Amino acid sequence: MRPAFQWLLLLICQACLLNPATTQNVCPRPPPEDNTELIGGQLFFEPGTEISLSCSQGYSHSGGSRKITCKKNGEWTERFLQCSPKRCSVPESPQNGKAEFDKIVYKSVITFNCNNGYNLVGANSSTCLHTGQWSDPTPQCEPVLCGLPYIPPNAKIVYDKQFTGYTVPFSFGGKYECFPPMAAIGEQRATCTEDGTWTDPPECILVKCPEPSPIENGFLSFAESREYGYKEKVKYGCTHPYILDGLAEVECQETGSWSKIPTCKGINGTI
Ligand SMILES: *[C@@H]1O[C@H](CO)[C@@H](O)[C@H](O)[C@H]1NC(C)=O
d(CA 72, CA 66): 20
pLDDT reported for residue 51: 97
- Domain assignment present for 260: yes
In a domain, 6, yes or no: no
- Please indicate, yes or no, whether residues 199 and 221 belong to a single structural domain of this protein: no
Residue 227 Cα to ligand 1 middle (Å): 61
Q: How far is the CA of 121 from the centre of ligand 1 (A)?
A: 12
Q: Tell whether 182 and 233 lie within a shared domain.
A: no
Domain end, chosen from 57, 85, 113, is at 85
Specify the pLDDT at position 11: 44
Residues 6+ away with beta carbon under 8 Å from 9? none
pLDDT of residue 56: 97
| In-domain check, residue 216 | yes
Do residues 209 and 228 touch, judged by C-beta distance below 8 A? Answer: yes
Q: Are 229 and 250 found together in one domain?
A: yes
106 Cβ contact partners less than 8 Å away, ≥ 6 residues apart: 58, 59, 85, 86, 87, 88, 128, 129, 130, 132
Low-confidence stretches of the chain (pLDDT beneath 50): 1, 3, 5, 7-21
Ligand 1: centre distance to CA 110 (Å):
12
**Residue-level pLDDT at 113:** 97
Dihedral, 263, 267, 270, 271 alpha carbons, nearest 10: -30
Residue 116 bridge partners (DSSP): none
Give residue 224's Cα distance to chain centre.
61
* Phi, psi (degrees; rounded to nearest 5) at 8: -65, -45
Beta bridge mates, 114: 97
Q: 90 C-alpha vs ligand 1 centroid, how far in Å?
A: 22
Please enumerate in sequence order all residues whose Cβ is within 8 A of that of 14, keeping only pairs 6 or more positions apart, or say none: none
Which candidate, 214, 153, 142, places its Cα nearest to that of 178? 153
Asked if residue 4 belongs to a domain, the reply is no
Together in a domain, 213 and 199: no
Q: Which of 206, 232, 252 is the last residue of a domain?
A: 206
pTM of the model: 0.61
Q: How far is the CA of 141 from the centre of ligand 1 (A)?
A: 15
Range of the domain at 135: 97-143
Q: Which of 165, 181, 206 finishes a domain?
A: 206
User: 87 C-alpha to center of ligand 1: Å?
Assistant: 25
Query: Looking at the structure, do residues 183 and 221 belong to the same domain, yes or no?
Result: no
CA of 123 to the centre of ligand 1 (A): 8
CA of 171 to the centre of ligand 1 (A): 25
Task: Judge if 196 and 248 occupy the same domain.
Answer: no
Report DSSP state, residue 26.
Answer: -
Residue 5 lies inside a defined structural domain of this protein: no
* Partners of 126 in beta bridges: 110
- For residue 70, being part of any structural domain is answered with yes
* 233 Cα to the center of ligand 1, angstroms: 60
The alpha carbon of residue 259 and the mean position of all alpha carbons in its chain are separated, in whole angstroms, by 48
Whether residue 193 is found in the same domain as residue 150? yes
- Å from CA of 111 to ligand 1 middle: 10
pLDDT in tens, 42-79: 999 999 999 999 999 999 999 999 999 999 999 999 99
Give the Å distance between the CA of 125 and the centre of ligand 1. Answer: 8
Provide long-range contacts, Cβ within 8 A and 24+ apart, for 84-91.
84/35, 84/59, 84/60, 85/35, 85/58, 85/59, 86/58, 86/59, 86/60, 86/128, 86/130, 86/131, 86/132, 87/128, 87/132, 88/128, 88/129, 88/132, 88/133, 88/134, 89/134, 91/126, 91/134, 91/138
The domain spanning residue 253 has which CATH number? 2.10.70.10
Q: How far is the CA of 30 from the centre of ligand 1 (A)?
A: 41
Query: How many A from CA of 168 to the centre of ligand 1?
Result: 27
For residue 10, is it within any domain?
no
Domain count along the chain: 4
Distance of alpha carbon 113 from alpha carbon 205, whole angstroms: 44
**Ligand 1 geometric centre to CA of 124 (Å):** 6
Residue 11 lies in a domain: no
